[in-house]
Amino acid sequence: MDEHDSMSCHELVEAITDYLEGALPPADRERLDVHLAGCPGCLAYLDQVRLTIRLTGRLTEDSLPALAHDELMAAFRTWRSGRTT
């Protein structure tokens, strides 16, 4: 793989969800793996995304404080209606 085949940090961020879901084409997965092997920042980013996925999987509606629940619901309603703040 030469320098023209290398993946940029921006491309990695754009592809990380497909990477984690196993949905990247083999050539792109190889490019991403090569990039991760030489980029500590992107490797840290991947670890953060994995941790976020693991921790958010533990959240339940009942585990949120009432104020946080209300703020999230208000933000969702605003987003869903297409309004901006």
Domain boundaries along the sequence of the chain: 3-81
**Segment 26-43 mean pLDDT:** 96
Please list the alpha-helical segments (H only) found in 5-81: 9-21, 26-38, 40-56, 66-81
The per-residue pLDDT for 64 is: 84
Q: What are phi and psi of 24, to 5 degrees?
A: -80, 140
Report field, pTM of the whole predicted structure over 0.85: no
Q: Which residues lie below 8 Å from residue 66, measured CB to CB, with a gap of 6+?
A: none
Q: Tell me which CATH code domain 3-81 carries.
A: 1.10.10
Least confident of 16-25, 33-42, 64-73: 64-73
Q: Indicate the residue type of 13.
A: V
